[in-house]
Amino acid sequence: MSFQEWVPSSLRSSSSILTFAPGGVVFSQGGQSVGFYEVLRGRVRMERPTITGKLVSLYVARPGDFLAEASLFADAYHCEATALVQSTVRLYPKKEVLAEFERRGDFAKAYTMMVSRSLIAVRERNERLMLHSARDRIRHFLALNAADDDRTVVINGPLKDLAAELGLTHEVLYRSLARMTDDGEIERDDNAIRLIDLK
């Protein structure tokens, strides 16, 4: 079930549609939390600076994905979100969402399930980043995301975005995919990768 199917109509009517040009900041780290976001079109990257000031990519959200779900229970955003391409998002205002939690137990439960799925995805990514080799990170990603029927992963967006999500440079990702193709582990067709034999 999509979010639009279970969100109360009163909350949807109180939401705002926002459009950002490439490089536009959806929200900033430390900025006041005003709600959470649903990506309608485009791609939005969440980043957080390290103590050295380098930005670390946390997640690239695509249409149907959500941003800053936990911000409902915080005063400020803990990372920055930037549009990678022309992007449109829907902002669900914090005050109205919290009020709906009080009125609608079914909505609160559905929201919790959505956040739980996001948490699982974050844990999977952290697990992947603990792997030292680029090939092992790619294997982990493909194994968890491959369709059950034909073991294919469709990459939505440029490989540079996938590289950032895997914590790799795009050059390392390209070379690793080429070696995995040569070794017969995968087959590539445009934006699709099919698992043959993960060694």
Tokens 């969440």: give the residue: 46
Query: For the chain, how many structural domains are there in total?
Result: 2
With a threshold of 0.85, does the pTM exceed it? no
Residues 26 and 103 reside in one and the same domain: yes
Q: Which domain holds residue 91?
A: 3-129
Binning pLDDT at 50, 70 and 90, where does residue 5 land? Answer: low
Q: What CATH number has the domain bearing residue 176?
A: 1.10.10.10
91 forms beta bridges with: 16, 37
- Domain shared by 120 and 149, yes or no: no
In a shared domain, residues 87 and 144: no
High-pLDDT (> 90) share of the chain, %:
40
CA 27 – CA 30 distance, rounded (Å): 9
Query: Residue 107: what pLDDT?
Result: 87
CA distances from 178 to 78, 184, 189 (A): 36, 10, 12
Query: Of the segments 4-8, 56-60, 84-88, which one has the largest average pLDDT value?
Result: 84-88
Q: Last residue of a domain, which of 109, 129, 149? A: 129
In three-state secondary structure terms, 150 is coil
Residue type, 82: T
Which domain-ending residue is among 79, 102, 129?
Answer: 129
Specify whether 97 is located in the same domain as 116: yes
Confidence of residue 172 (pLDDT cuts 50, 70, 90): very high
DSSP state letter for 78: S
CATH number at residue 104: 2.60.120.10
> At residue 199, does pLDDT exceed 60?
no
Say whether both 92 and 61 belong to one domain: yes
d(CA 129, CA 168): 9
Question: Is residue 179 pLDDT above 90, yes or no?
Answer: yes
